Structure 1
Amino acid sequence: MSVVLDDAATQRKAPALGGREIAAGAIWLALLFVPLWLPALGGYTDLATRVLIYAMAATGLNLLLGHTGGLSFGHAAYFGLGTYGAGLFLIHVTKSLPLAILAGTLLGGIAAILVGPLLMRRKGIYFSMITIAFGQMFYFAAVRWNGLTGGEDGLTGFSRVPLHLGAITVPLGSARYYYLVLALFALVMLFVWQVLRAPLGHAFVATRENATRLRFLGVAVDRQVWIAFALSGVIVALAGSLDALLIGFTSPATLQWQLSGEFVVMCVLGGMRSFWGPSLGALIFIGAQDYLSSITQNWMSYIGLIFVLSVLFFPNGLLGFVRAQGRTRTRT
């Protein structure tokens, strides 16, 4: 009898791994060995780094878009501020890579925190239009402030510097920088996962589903929108600072609303209401962009076609479609 009880207790303590855990483990394992297998498929490490950076930005936006229900077409502003913050810090302050990343994240994040109260009471199209207005305001500031930002020619004169760890200096080539970005990507994904599982994340979803009922329950809905907007802005700014260090250049194009639209497309392609959806969307978008731009000048037309087909046949995104198919098979 005691043996049976011990076996039952062991089964409760060590539940079997589900499909989601196995899939997540496979994803992280594949990401860990990207520099080894990607060149065999015709890719290159910097492309994988760019996918991670844009996946981070799309995940940050999705915290507001998919989970809180706020459609922003101005988040490129915080991405662009992150790029300028990192570049200007390296040029004018000191050659420190961690501090440059921190400076870019703070610049874009503080901007998002300050903008949030000005739009948190708006809904629907009014919310989206105000985000565009603020984004374009930052864009024109970068264009006009020629002496600091380089104007339309962009900001140059900085590059990815080695990482100093006490007495050890680590040069950051393509592979090493990829792993630095991967580590930060993992931290961001862990943070977002914890937020969504916490009461704050449930409040975000409740705001998306029925803000009126939430107000009747005494919850400050406007504050929830502000918090979601601020957190998403900080994450997007972090991605922007990493992007500037990847290519050693930034320009006002990183602040334009078109880039915000690309972030939205990534979220929609993969699935706005799934955790890994924005990352999958970033992989599809950046991969298609890299391949199609190498074979045709009209690559944007094909990207648009992919987006239209996705919306028509996979309205909940690719992961949403896969999840729905899984539920159907389970019922049958």
Structure 2
Amino acid sequence: MPTDFIRPPQRDSWFAPLSIDLLVKVLNTTFLHPFVAWIIPLCFRAQNLPWDTPRVLASIAWASFITLCWIGGAINRRVAFGLPREVDLSEEVIVITGGASGLGLLIAEVYGMRGATVAVLDVAEMENGESRGVKYYRCDVSDKDQVARVAREIEKDLGTPTVLINNAAIVLGKRLLDMDMAEIQRSLATNLLSHFYTLKTFLPALARSERGGTIVTMSSVIGHVGAAQLTDYAAAKAGVTALHKSLTAELRESHPQIRTILVTPGQLSTPLFYGVQTPNAFLAPVVEPVDVAKEIIAAVDSGRGGILGMPLYARWIDWFNVLPAGVQVVVRRLSGVDEGMKTFIGRRGAAAARPEKEPTLIRPF
């Protein structure tokens, strides 16, 4: 975990023992799983109940329904995202923007330890320094010339990139009236334009790869619903989501060997949103970076495209905009989505909250 991340003492949702996501996870591995569902009628038969008894028939109907849902889900993924590409970590060159800390650093270190070659692009130094398989490149991804220069260095040093993870982002946390033009330009350049720069720069290399490639786009539920004090961030993330969908449609026709993954998490417990309080720990739990990292890594490893949303409400957030406008206002007030940024401190506040003197680490010789 990043060393400069200190949680606000009032935040406790990350260790909340119960959330709707936990309940759904339990259900998906029990009553909503075909294997378990078919065990129930078998148990009834083991009790010598006839096949035509209501309990047996009901359990068979339930198991059949669950099985059809799982089959339908598999067909849906196949039609939507195609066949998986072949992934060999020893041959993969993974480029991660904003990988010097937080979620990007977790992904970089995991892939480095697993034998992949990782290039981290960031304006800040890597918190833990370069580790096995991970090489750091100082680069401001909002500057297209720096991105082009670093791309040439990566190709020369590490080889042809096969995976691009667009993770770099900044959060200002200010009202539109309180931002100056330079701040707006910097926010949109980092959160939106940088995606265009990296895609234009690295996509030709991914297209040249015989094994194809994978593009991971980090968006946010805020891009779907917006929030007070996040006008710039929400606009950028909405644009990123639209960019992903349009690019996926283009690549499906021109380069079907390239897979795209869209990630739309809720509130992450990273320094980027330090100080923000979740309105409801049960319905909207704060997402741990390690959980998001696991989902992204599993998706990249599988060679498939996909859409990853977490926690549960993030997977259904599109339905929010279908509600009548008045209902949306009521939901916003009840959820507190427009109140969360009032306690925002941000990455700089997190760094300032660190003790001035770090404890000495004693390592064995």
Structure-2-length-normalised TM-score: 0.24
Structure with greater helix percent: 1
Higher relative contact order (CA 8 A, sep 6+): 1
Larger Rg: 2
